[in-house]
Structure 1
Amino acid sequence: MDERPPQDVGFTVLVLADPGQCVDRARAAQGRFEEELAAVFGAATVHVRTQFLGISDSNTLALAPVDAVRGDYEHVDMTLLLTEMPRRADKRALIAELLPDREVATLSLPTIGVLSGRERLVTVFMACVMQRGDALTEQDRARYSLRWSRWSETSDRHGAHLRSSAVIGSIRTVLGMVATNAPWRAAPKLSSALAAASATGAFGIFYNSIWQMSAALSTPRLLLIGLLAMTSMVLWLIVGNRLWERPMRDDATTVLLYSNLSTVLTLFLCVLSLYVALVVLILGGSLVVIDPDFMSGVLGELATFARYVDIAWLSAALGVVAGGLGASFDDSTDLRQLTHGSRESLRRPSRDAQG
């Protein structure tokens, strides 16, 4: 709920936002949004409320719960629905959709740009409000027109779409979905993987055969080994947790492509963080345990800091592979709620989930 006392003054907007980054971004923009509305309408009030937005049988946002929430407020001129779901129209990513008959606009935060600033979100909010049929001056409409996108009528002419560019919009949407997945949420769920990876990686400190192998490998080859190790763990986590989404209807292919790409990138960031942490831990341990003179005797060359780094890098690669195996045997490692596809299934009617 909006934490501020309700005060329906002037033009009133209700923002219903998905939990997580959507509602956080909406609250951060609330004051600035009110200022911009007041500049146009004289006075304005913005309410921000957390609402997990569902999907109807027709694969659109369910508006019945929205109508019920609006009833909690004395007066609402317009409702904005801010969701983390990616949406498309005419083969392009959809930034916003206006439903003038319902006085509702739906906005996709990933396509707007999760990494963009507060001003961009306020600008899109205002662009939606400016599409209403109120007596607004052309100067007001021009002030909040978007240079990077234009409104177009929907196919049924009962609304309007604000679409992103074909290439940049798709890239921004996938990156936005990665951000809303919050990769850092996976870290506590990979505790078993980290334990297995640390135990295996520690062998690199005590076995001089790994020292010799790391010294014999070139830097590009070491980097390739690390990349292959991380890729194998990502694939293992996707298969083991059944995170790869398959289309359940004909029009979902591209959206699921976004979802699957964001899943891969999210997990890769998680595994990369795990890998870097292992390298740092093993490097610290090796500097304490391995005497430089002893290493020099084993390798037949001067034990430089770079050699310690090589040992840590190769040992971490072995540890990451073992970590993926360890996570597959731990029932507590459930990453399904990390992905958009799994969270979207929660939005659908229960009979959908039953098949």
Structure 2
Amino acid sequence: MSTSQTPRRRPPDLRGSSRAPRATVEPARDPSRPGITVVVLADPGRCTLGAQGAQVSLQQELARMFGTAEVRVQPQLLGISEANTLEMSTPGALMNADEDVDVVLMLTEMPRRSGGVPLIAEVFPEQHSAAIAYPVVGVMSSKKRLTSVFMACVLRITGAGTEEDHQRYSLTWNEWTEATADTTAQLRANTVTGVPRTIIGMVATNAPWRAAPKLSSAVAAACATGAFGIFYSNIWEMSAALSTPRLLMIGLLAMTLMVGWLIISGNLWERPKREGPATVHLYYNLSTVLTLYLSVLGLYLAMVLLIFLAGLVVIDPDYLESVIKRPASLDRYLDIAWMSAALGVVAGGLGASFDDETDLRSLTHGRRENQRRPEELRD
């Protein structure tokens, strides 16, 4: 990339980090010192929580293999180098600063690929380090799975353990590829379950349940418009006349319109460049759409509940029955709440576009990826 032109943004090299710098890091471990010290550098958020959850079990497994062990979890936003790969100078800098560290494990929320298959882990013995993609590991998995990945990486870095030990920490339906002259040892995900697991993992690291505070204007507009349905008798009549499938379709359409508007107004859709693989952008876009859908769905259901309870208090059953010419059952109140919430969600999407303080890109991998780049390469 020419330094005289403005650099175009592209995703990190998800085909693995075989092109990463291969500078050898001399072993920091003192042969006379028993045991092993492992540092886990984890991206802030879900990665750090996952690493902390597996910290005790990892230390116990290491102690069983090496006699004594110490595991440290250090939150750190892992960077992307100018070569568009995971920054591999970080482990070396850490080991040079702390001579007691034997192995550095980098746990990142960035999805990684190799040979068209999602990559769970990649080992760099020369740097005494390994990179693990947390979304591909699966955030819904137990700490036992993450511990197994950590241990498999440590054994390959140190060259320790028997064939039985390596088999103990293998993952079902996943396999390691051995290192060659041009590639590193890699743990690849299953070709069938790897992509869905990666997308679900990316959605979880986006934390859609934390989106509401970032959409304060959308929530205010949605609640105001939704509450209007309690006092508008035409909404009562319309909701009573529509069938349940049609009401469900109206709710789905309302959520789709809000998600689409948020993506357009927030410029959240990732467009592939010629130098960036389109599959990577597909992962980013799918996770963004699902994240926003879950956020809007949570907002929608919360509004339905609030409007339903408010309707029970405000709308007199006899008056409702006289308007809709049908019995004022709980189902009718629920229909009113559902219809009113649909109107509120559409208004909420429009309200979000006028909030200058709302940074929707912070909910997506694209924004957080840009923060990892060197300052001169950021958008």
Match of 1:126 in 2: 151
Q: What is the deviation of 1:295?
A: 0.8
Contact in 2 for aligned 1:12/1:45 (Cα 8 Å): yes
| CA distance, structure 1, for counterparts of residue 183 and residue 192 of structure 2 | 27
Q: From 60, 65, 74, give the equivalent of 2:85.
A: 60
Cα RMSD for the two superposed structures? 1.5
Q: What is the deviation of 1:255?
A: 1.5
Gaps of 5+ in 2: 1-32
SS in 2 for 1:250: coil
SS in 2 for 1:47: strand
Contact in 2 for aligned 1:245/1:260 (Cα 8 Å): yes
SS in 2 for 1:246: coil
Match of 1:164 in 2: 189
Post-superposition CA distance 1:58-82 (Å, at most 9, x none): 2211022332222332322211100
Contact in 1 for aligned 2:122/2:185 (Cα 8 Å): yes
Match of 1:243 in 2: 268
Please state which structure has a larger fraction of its residues in helix. Answer: 1
Identity across matched positions, percent: 59
Rate the CA distance shift 1:146–1:298 in 2: closer, same or farther, 3 A: closer
Match of 1:209 in 2: 234
| CA distance, structure 2, for counterparts of residue 218 and residue 154 of structure 1 | 61
Contact in 1 for aligned 2:95/2:102 (Cα 8 Å): no
Matched, 1:91 2:108: no
Q: What is the deviation of 1:9?
A: 5.5
| CA distance, structure 2, for counterparts of residue 154 and residue 87 of structure 1 | 17
Rate the CA distance shift 1:237–1:114 in 2: closer, same or farther, 3 A: same
Matched, 1:234 2:259: yes
| CA distance, structure 2, for counterparts of residue 218 and residue 148 of structure 1 | 45
Q: What is the deviation of 1:55?
A: 0.7
Contact in 2 for aligned 1:234/1:268 (Cα 8 Å): yes
Gaps of 5+ in 1: 1-7
Match of 1:4 in 2: none
Q: Report 1:1-355 matches (<5 A).
A: 10-153=35-178, 156-353=181-378
AA at the equivalent of 1:174: I
Q: What is the deviation of 1:155?
A: 6.2
Deviates further, 125-134 or 150-159 = 150-159
SS in 2 for 1:132: helix
| CA distance, structure 2, for counterparts of residue 77 and residue 114 of structure 1 | 27
Deviates further, 84-93 or 138-147 = 138-147
Post-superposition CA distance 1:145-171 (Å, at most 9, x none): 333211113564452111001231000
| CA distance, structure 1, for counterparts of residue 360 and residue 196 of structure 2 | 24
| CA distance, structure 2, for counterparts of residue 229 and residue 158 of structure 1 | 48
| CA distance, structure 1, for counterparts of residue 48 and residue 89 of structure 2 | 20
Question: How many aligned residue pairs are there?
Answer: 347
AA at the equivalent of 1:115: M
Deviates further, 244-253 or 288-297 = 244-253
TM-score normalized by the length of structure 1: 0.94
Contact in 2 for aligned 1:204/1:315 (Cα 8 Å): yes
Post-superposition CA distance 1:317-353 (Å, at most 9, x none): 0111011111111111221111001111111122222
